[in-house]
């Protein structure tokens, strides 16, 4: 798949330079396709279109109901191509097909939740002023032009997590794609236009780090919505702070699964495989620390080794493969260094270790690895690895477990398992994290999603996601 034009303001345009972004499939290093890299001039053109849309175009001035109608039509068009997109993404960023299918199905639910929230959202309220002197009109108006910068690990989900609330609020958007997944989102712009989005409202670009930073600091951009690494988020926050620019950051995690003493350990081993090693561990919400009562650690490790060790590793485009390669060779090298560091720090290896999986002769693969007897102070328990590496950490009491779960700079996800759901709920209230599940509960796309600490600033999904793209105006009468 090769494209020669870039999508600026709802139109396919010739790029300002001939620099191109090539995408390679990390399973066999085959070339998937290429698109133009955006230049500084292309960013200027995209911002100019977005400013025109915001300052004088129809989109911010349409009724919320009319914007909802456009996004509802887009959701229908996107859902019709769910499996097509899942297969394409799997062959682009090497995410396992089971994962990309699950994500695309989840996107449909996520979109529906945003639309439901928009229908109930208090876009404008009129009420008596406090004290009885006149009236107040309380309006929620679009924040302005949004630069949405997304990662490669779940590209459509990440894109639509930002596009839906921003567009529903009336904001024009410049969507900046990751170079590793430069291809899959190219169709989103055409689908938005088919759904009825006016011209100038949306641009979709691929850019390197320097040009991406130029977009972030562009004076015509009012808000940055970013998902990615904590380091990159810190840089964006620094740049935005100098300009008092609105910013939303969904960053990394080092989430904990806490097994209370009455948990059925063998029964939860498969759930832990999915929660810890989803997308071959390349997920910000991966629960890569598992806290278990010290006396039951051996029982848990045995169950995990049996389950994870039996999972198929191979071509991510095949239904049978639970694990695929990592997104690129540089990521494989990074994860391998973390594994070697964990061994050097004294953590015990129950499964995996450094090196390629047995029977695999090419591709950016690492062996799924389980460490046990991990001290929470070790780097493998403190740093986001973004690969299939699990740390089993023993604890001595529930107070000890809560202390260990909270002993991290992150606070994005987590889980609690117990035979008594109310007991698990009480424990969950003690954990400093943005989202937490009990006994494997599915996420609620109408509830706020985001993190504490180094896991970010702000919330996404549902009405909280809409809140992130509005300014509040009070008119007193």
CA nearest neighbour of 150 among 182, 125, 172 = 182
Task: Report the SS3 class of residue 322.
Answer: coil
Helix (H) or strand (E) holding 212: helix 209-217
Measure CA 150 to chain center: 8
Q: Name 395's Cβ contacts closer than 8 Å, sequence gap at least 6.
A: 291, 292, 293, 294, 401, 404
Q: Name 302's Cβ contacts closer than 8 Å, sequence gap at least 6.
A: none
- Which residues belong to the active site? 250, 284
User: How far apart are alpha carbons 454 and 175 in whole angstroms?
Assistant: 24
User: How far apart are alpha carbons 447 and 460 in whole angstroms?
Assistant: 8
Six-digit token pair at 357?
């999986």
CA nearest neighbour of 273 among 424, 25, 105, 99 = 99
Task: Report the SS3 class of residue 439.
Answer: coil
User: How far apart are alpha carbons 154 and 103 in whole angstroms?
Assistant: 7
Are 233 and 251 a contacting pair, CB within 8 Å?
yes
CA neighbours within 13 Å on the CB side: how many for 347? Answer: 29
Helix orientation angle between 40-56 and 209-217, rounded to the nearest 10 degrees: 30
Q: How many other C-beta atoms lie within 10 A of the C-beta of residue 167?
A: 27
Q: Decide the pairing of beta strands 437-438 and 414-417.
A: parallel
Residue spans of beta strands (DSSP E) within 304-443: 348-351, 369-372, 389-395, 414-417, 437-438
Residue 346 — φ and ψ, nearest 5°?
105, 5
């Amino acid at each position: 798949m090769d494209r020669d034009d870039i999508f600026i303001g709802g139109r396919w345009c010739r790029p300002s330079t001939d620099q191109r972004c090539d995408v390679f499939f990390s399973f066999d290093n085959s070339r998937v396709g290429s698109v133009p890299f955006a230049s500084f001039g292309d960013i200027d053109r995209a911002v100019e279109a977005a400013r025109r849309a915001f300052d004088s175009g129809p989109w911010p001035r349409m009724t919320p109901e009319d914007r909802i109608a456009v996004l509802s039509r887009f959701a229908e068009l996107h859902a019709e191509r769910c499996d097509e997109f899942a297969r394409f993404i799997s062959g682009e960023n090497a995410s396992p097909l089971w994962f990309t299918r699950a994500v695309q199905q989840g996107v449909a639910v996520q979109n529906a939740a945003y639309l439901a929230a928009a229908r109930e959202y208090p876009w404008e309220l009129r009420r008596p002023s406090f004290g009885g002197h006149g009236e107040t009109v309380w309006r929620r108006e679009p924040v302005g032009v949004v630069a949405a910068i997304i990662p490669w690990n779940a590209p459509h989900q990440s894109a639509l997590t930002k596009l839906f609330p921003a567009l529903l609020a009336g904001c024009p958007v410049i969507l900046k794609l990751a170079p590793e997944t430069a291809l899959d989102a190219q169709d989103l712009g055409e689908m938005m236009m088919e759904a009825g989005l006016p011209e100038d409202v949306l641009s979709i670009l691929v850019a390197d780090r320097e040009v991406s930073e130029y977009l972030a600091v562009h004076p015509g951009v009012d808000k940055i919505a970013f998902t990615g690494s904590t380091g990159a988020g810190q840089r964006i926050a620094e740049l935005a702070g100098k300009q008092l620019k609105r910013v939303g950051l969904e960053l990394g995690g080092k989430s904990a699964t806490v097994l209370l003493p009455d948990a059925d350990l063998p029964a939860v081993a498969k759930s832990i495989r999915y929660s810890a090693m989803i997308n071959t561990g390349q997920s910000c919400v991966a629960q890569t620390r598992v806290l278990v009562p010290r006396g039951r650690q051996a029982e848990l490790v045995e169950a995990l080794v049996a389950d994870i060790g039996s999972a198929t590793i191979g071509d991510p485009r095949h239904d049978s493969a639970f694990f695929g390669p990592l997104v690129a060779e540089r990521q494989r090298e990074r994860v391998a260094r973390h594994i070697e560091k964990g061994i050097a720090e004294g953590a015990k290896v129950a499964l995996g270790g450094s090196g390629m999986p047995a029977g695999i002769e090419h591709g950016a693969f690492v062996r799924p690895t389980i460490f046990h007897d991990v001290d929470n102070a070790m780097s493998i328990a403190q740093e986001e690895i973004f690969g299939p590496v699990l740390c089993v950490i023993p604890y001595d009491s529930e107070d000890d477990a809560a202390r260990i779960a909270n002993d991290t700079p992150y606070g994005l996800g987590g889980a609690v398992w117990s035979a008594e759901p109310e007991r698990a709920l009480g424990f969950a209230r003690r954990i400093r994290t943005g989202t937490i599940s009990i006994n494997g509960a599915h996420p609620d796309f109408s509830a706020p999603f985001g993190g504490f600490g180094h896991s970010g600033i702000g919330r996404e999904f549902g009405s909280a996601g809409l809140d992130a793209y509005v300014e509040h105006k009070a008119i007193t009468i």
